Amino acid sequence: MGLTSPLIKRAALFSVAGLFVLAPGALFVGAAHAANYNPTETSRRDAGTPNSTIVIKNKAGTVIEYGNKYILYNAPPSKLDNLGKALFMENCASCHGTQADGIPANGTVGAYPDLVGLGPATVDFWVVSGRMPSANPRVVEASRRQPRLTPNQALAIAAWVNSLAPSIPLIPTPNLANANVSDGAALFALNCASCHTIEGDGDALAASTFSPSLRNIPAYQVVEAIRTGPANMPRFTGNLSDQQVLDVTKYVTTEIQHPNNPGGFGLGGLGPVAEGFVGLLLGVGVLVLVCYWIGERE
């Protein structure tokens, strides 16, 4: 059977034809993927979850509730809109503008972002964690402080900003009973520890940027942070399912925030730095003092 065999000829013909059909298809799919993923300007509206079993819309067709048995996302109640507007004008408008559309970024510190369409979870997280209103708007990364506004006031601001252009992610309510802490530990090591450290204490990252400590953060705020990606943090949307986010949240709110420390004092989770200080100053130090005590002193 030579190269001129009809079977070979036919196979070659089909291959070439197939290639002509497949190549544009592959190109099209690739382009579609590329269009979907733009790291510099991601559409904030794609932050939903691919596996929402519950989707509830209001009369206007806006999604007001979605989620599944792991995390339920709710829109802030619209009756808070007026309160939110008043609070926004009082606390936020001086930087973000009266229409919450911010001051365009010009590459310098102190450009105030556009808040429209970011989703209520974003606004709620920044306000309820005390980062906003910022004490020093010129700082590169606002840090967590004692909140100026109550959780309800934060929710009101989120409600008003959301009313300008309804979007997601909505305010999450994680159902920790359905979480798997073991998967959470593995996901934490893979996705979070590279900045927040494996013990969740946070650390300085680069010039004026840092990863905050994960202690004393309520579960819903952990979900908000993962889904909205505040400051330097990447926004985990499609790459982590609601179940996985819930697992991480469970690990953070249990083992990270309340480590069992069966070995005694945890030494602040600083690892070998703290251990070295204790070993040298307390360990060697005390034993040298014992030497001084039992030896002859001149």
Partner 1 sequence: MSEVTLTNKRAKRRAAGPYGKVGKALNELDDRLGVAKGGRTFMDKIFPDHWSFMLGEIALYSFVILLATGIFLTFYFIPSSAIVTYHGSYLPLVGQKVTQAFSSTVDISFAVRGGLLMRQMHHWACDIFVGALVVHMARVFFTGAFRKPRELNWTIGVTLLTLAIGNGFLGYSLPDDLVSGTGIRIAYSIMLSIPFVGTYLAFFIFGGNFPGASTIPRFYILHCLILPLVIMGLVGAHLFLLVRQKHTQFPGEGRTEKNVVGSPMFPVFMAKTTGFLFIVTGFTALLSAFAQINPIWQFGPYDASRISYAVQPDWYMGFLDGALRIWPSWTFHSFGHTIPFEVLLPAVVLPGLIFGLAYAWPMLERLYTKDNEIHHLLDRPSQRPKRTAVGVAALAFVTMLFIASSTDVIANFFHISLNTVLWLMRITTILVPLVAYPIAYKICKEMQGVHGAGKRKTPNIVSRTVEGEYLATPTPAYHDDLGHDLAATVVPTFIESEPDDTDEGGVRIVDR
Q: Does 291 bind partner 1 (CB under 8 A)?
A: yes
CB burial class (10 A; 0-12, 13-18, 19+) of residue 154?
A: buried
Diameter over CA atoms, the chain:
107
Nearer to partner 1, 18 or 266 (CB): 266
Nearer to partner 1, 2 or 263 (CB): 263
Q: Does 19 bind partner 1 (CB under 8 A)?
A: no
- 3-class DSSP assignment, residue 56: strand
Residues 6+ apart with CB under 8 A from 184: 246, 247, 248, 249, 250, 251, 252
Nearer to partner 1, 41 or 298 (CB): 298
The side-by-side arrangement of strands in the sheet containing 171-174 is 54-57, 63-67, 71-74, 171-174
Give Cα 27 to chain centroid, integer Å: 32
Contact 241, 68 (CB under 8 A): no
Nearer to partner 1, 37 or 277 (CB): 277
Binding mask 133-152 for partner 1 (x = CB under 8 A): ----------x---------
Question: Which of 2, 39, 136, 265 touches partner 1 (CB under 8 A)?
Answer: 265
- DSSP state, residue 200: S
Contact 45, 120 (CB under 8 A): no
Question: Which of 23, 103, 205, 238 touches partner 1 (CB under 8 A)?
Answer: 205
Q: Does 294 bind partner 1 (CB under 8 A)?
A: yes
**What is d(CA 91, CA 80) in angstroms, rounded to the nearest whole number?**
16
Residue 207 CB, shortest distance to partner 1, in Å, is 5
Q: Does 32 bind partner 1 (CB under 8 A)?
A: no
Residue 298 CB, shortest distance to partner 1, in Å, is 7
Q: Does 252 bind partner 1 (CB under 8 A)?
A: no
Q: Does 267 bind partner 1 (CB under 8 A)?
A: yes
Residue 136 CB, shortest distance to partner 1, in Å, is 12
Q: Does 261 bind partner 1 (CB under 8 A)?
A: yes
Of residues 152 through 191, those in contact with partner 1 by CB under 8 A are 181-186, 189-190
User: Which among 129-137, 145-153, 233-241, 286-294 is the span making contact with partner 1, rule CB under 8 A?
Assistant: 286-294
Cβ-based neighbour number of residue 108 at 10 Å:
7
Nearest residue to 63 (alpha-carbon basis) of 43, 49, 84: 49
Residue type, 164: L
The contact set with partner 1 (CB under 8 A) reads 143, 181-186, 189-190, 193-199, 201-208, 210-211, 251, 255, 259, 261-267, 270-273, 275-280, 282-284, 286-288, 290-298
